[in-house]
Structure 1
Amino acid sequence: MNATITLPDPNTMYQAIVDRDAEMEGLFVMAVKTTGIFCRPGCKAKTPKRENVEFFATADQALAAGYRPCKRCRPMELSGSVPAWLTQLVDALEADSSRRWTNADLEAMGLSPIRVRRWFQQHYRMTFHAYLRTRRIGLAVDMLQTGKDVTSTALDSGYESLSGFRDSLRKWTGQSPTSIKDGEPILVQRILTPLGPMLAAGSDAGLCLLEFADRKMLPKQFERVSKLFAQPILPGTHPVLSEAADQIEQYFQGTRTEFTLPLRLDGTSFQQQVWKLLEGIPFGQTSSYGELAERLGKPTASRAVGRTNGDNRLAIVVPCHRVVRSDGHLCGYAGGLWRKKWLLEHERKLNHNQ
């Protein structure tokens, strides 16, 4: 089955510029003839007149046409990249994960605490100081699981008292230092893509979540994952997350059409059957809810298949974006219908070129 894919028309794209609609990110860039500069759809620069604008599918095409990238919205960088004004702080965080930061420390670096707070809320769904606390907890969990004693762990991860450390650990993980040693937290990190940042979560058992960071239901999804696997979710790095980042990058570069990642597809028997069918939809092709229900031997279960499709926790890797309506038109997608269009067009073009 071939999906009906319609890219935005010029009027729609111009309206996105007027509205500063960042949801069009990845679908096109806008170039301004009078300035010789091209921008992202969500750029906050002054809106140019319609007659002075032309559109390109990619930043490379705009460059080839002689336009320069905007210094404000930085269209050559992946959406969600750390901006230049924040790099000094991020480097300092990486150098010392246990340091306690105050607003005065930020101001001493020439940073506005409000601006920093907003950036972390937008990209990590938490404030800067909440991010620091979870980072310290993640550091402490790693120390405990490698055999370090509780007192040394508390001091080395930036806590001033043992009781404060125990309280904080229980608040963020629901566990005591002793039980943490025997458990395995789920670690989460950001992955930058041409369609915006994604959040990946996993552990030794495999990748259990991969979602676009701006999905409205993401906090609920994290709660469900933590409850389902009975483990806290903390910022951190893990080989399965690094491999996921590499394979996602290869997918967007057009050099990978299948994923070889260990996955945690825990769910009901019916959910697991549907998710396995989703994995089986070939790259560059689509299927409908009705077709999936037929393959399950349950032709009247198309609505249940649709609900399970929406419950998929592993965007792109378990390709729920390849499910369309029976008439071939696109239907809902948790990451946004515009992303679904982009992904299907990306795969269709690669299939056509092979």
Structure 2
Amino acid sequence: MTGLTKEIMYAAIIKKDTSFEGVFFTAVKTTGIFCRPSCTARKPKRENVEFLETSRDCLLKGYRPCKVCRPLENLNETPPGIKLLLEELHANPALKFRDWDLKQRGIEPHTLRRWFLKNHHVTFQAYQRMFRLNSAFKKMKEGYTVTDTAFDAGYESLSGFGHSFKSIFGISPKKGKSQQIIDFKRIETPLGTMYACAVVEGICLLEFTDRKMLETELKGLCKVLNATIVQGENEHFKMLEHELGEYFAGRSKSFSTPLYTPGSDFQKTVWLGLQQIPFGTTRSYKDQAAAISRPEAVRAVANANGMNRISILIPCHRVIGTDGQLTGYGGGIWRKQWLLNMEKTNS
């Protein structure tokens, strides 16, 4: 919060200034509640307020989210104008939105560029290209010729299509059938942004974006599946987003989204065992090992838990130490605590 004084931030919450959304949170010492800067609830006295940079900071200090402004909901939700843009692109990947088109919609190209770089780590133009090539790759997998695919995707020449295709997939279009594609999407949750990956069989990765081992997991997934990860839609994403929304709202205790979990037979047994741990309950690593009839393999079970690529749906957060203490969790101990508290409250 460099450059922001407490006086500026307090003035912002008095004005309910939406321009400070995502910059800081207001935590009220007397009520134990934290809010967005634009919260419409009655404002606390200055001496009862502290300003924190992230929702994580608020939760770690014991504050609860406000029921009026719901600060954990849609923290980085896609703005309506950009959401509409993406819906059109998903419906027709051959579309090409240029700066003039964006301005006609009231979207400043530089603003859009910054938003995509922050949230997708690529520019909007790069996102368009990757999405278009993702669609083209799938059409060729369905039996379309390279020529038909190239022109249907909006390319003006086969050479241009071939160059773009190779820059993303590392191989020529003609050799594309030997490789697989992993669809990639950004999903917002009350605990922060998650990345989801999916193939035809189901969701193969779901992790918080700040997980330390995320890059290693993504590279490993590409190697195991002989695939390239590219921004794109997948039939399983819609179901995943709906079920995650129901879960975080405390309205659902199970998931039916198809999963695809490449790994060793032992790892698959451990991951299946994790899915048998009931909502709102916990197990120790020792209990988990006994549940899969491998009581001697506690350490191996713990290692397999750590290799789980699908957070929440394969609930490794429900495994705790034998002494009842929370142990390591890729998404962070604070998230593990939040998930367990939420499940206990709604069980």
Q: Report what 1:174 is aligned to.
A: 170
Structure 1 residue 225 corresponds to structure 2 residue 221? yes
Shift in CA distance, 136/282, structure 1 to aligned 2, threshold 3 Å: same
Alignment of 1:187-336 (within 5 A): 187-296=183-292, 298-299=294-295, 301-336=297-332
Shift in CA distance, 249/301, structure 1 to aligned 2, threshold 3 Å: same
Q: Report what 1:121 is aligned to.
A: 117
**SS of corresponding position for 2:196:** strand
Distance, in Å, in 1 between the alignment partners of 2:167 and 2:181 is 14
Deviation at 1:170, TM superposition (A): 2.5
Structure 1 residue 337 corresponds to structure 2 residue 333? yes
Which among 29, 33, 38 is matched to residue 34 of structure 2?
A: 29
Shift in CA distance, 331/92, structure 1 to aligned 2, threshold 3 Å: same
Deviation at 1:121, TM superposition (A): 3.1
Scaled by the length of structure 1, the TM-score of the pair is 0.73
Structure 1 regions of 5+ residues with no counterpart? 1-16, 40-47, 63-68
The 8 Å contact of residues 38 and 75 in structure 1, kept in 2 or not, is answered as: no
Distance, in Å, in 2 between the alignment partners of 1:172 and 1:347 is 41
Amino acid paired to 1:121 = L
Amino acid paired to 1:189 = K
Distance, in Å, in 2 between the alignment partners of 1:115 and 1:104 is 14
Deviation at 1:163, TM superposition (A): 2.0
The 8 Å contact of residues 208 and 264 in structure 1, kept in 2 or not, is answered as: yes
Deviation at 1:81, TM superposition (A): 1.0
The 8 Å contact of residues 31 and 53 in structure 1, kept in 2 or not, is answered as: no
Shift in CA distance, 336/117, structure 1 to aligned 2, threshold 3 Å: farther
Structure 2 regions of 5+ residues with no counterpart? 1-19, 52-57
Q: Percent identity at matched positions?
A: 37
Shift in CA distance, 90/207, structure 1 to aligned 2, threshold 3 Å: closer
Deviation at 1:317, TM superposition (A): 0.5
Amino acid paired to 1:257 = K
The 8 Å contact of residues 285 and 322 in structure 2, kept in 1 or not, is answered as: yes
Deviation at 1:79, TM superposition (A): 2.1
The 8 Å contact of residues 78 and 194 in structure 1, kept in 2 or not, is answered as: yes
Which among 158, 162, 175 is matched to residue 162 of structure 1?
A: 158
When structure 1 is superposed on structure 2, of 309-318 and 105-114 the one drifting more is 105-114
Shift in CA distance, 93/36, structure 1 to aligned 2, threshold 3 Å: closer
The 8 Å contact of residues 24 and 36 in structure 2, kept in 1 or not, is answered as: no
Deviation at 1:209, TM superposition (A): 1.0
Shift in CA distance, 256/88, structure 1 to aligned 2, threshold 3 Å: closer
Which among 47, 51, 54 is matched to residue 48 of structure 2?
A: 51
Deviation at 1:266, TM superposition (A): 1.4
Distance, in Å, in 2 between the alignment partners of 1:336 and 1:328 is 17
Deviation at 1:228, TM superposition (A): 0.9
RMSD: 3.6
| Number of equivalent positions | 311
CA offset digits 1:78-98 (Å, max 9, x no partner):
122112574565466456533
When structure 1 is superposed on structure 2, of 339-348 and 87-96 the one drifting more is 87-96
Which among 138, 147, 168 is matched to residue 151 of structure 1?
A: 147
The 8 Å contact of residues 180 and 226 in structure 2, kept in 1 or not, is answered as: no
Amino acid paired to 1:251 = Y
CA offset digits 1:154-192 (Å, max 9, x no partner):
223233321231232233223432343576522222333
Shift in CA distance, 51/198, structure 1 to aligned 2, threshold 3 Å: same
The 8 Å contact of residues 182 and 227 in structure 2, kept in 1 or not, is answered as: yes
Distance, in Å, in 1 between the alignment partners of 2:187 and 2:160 is 32
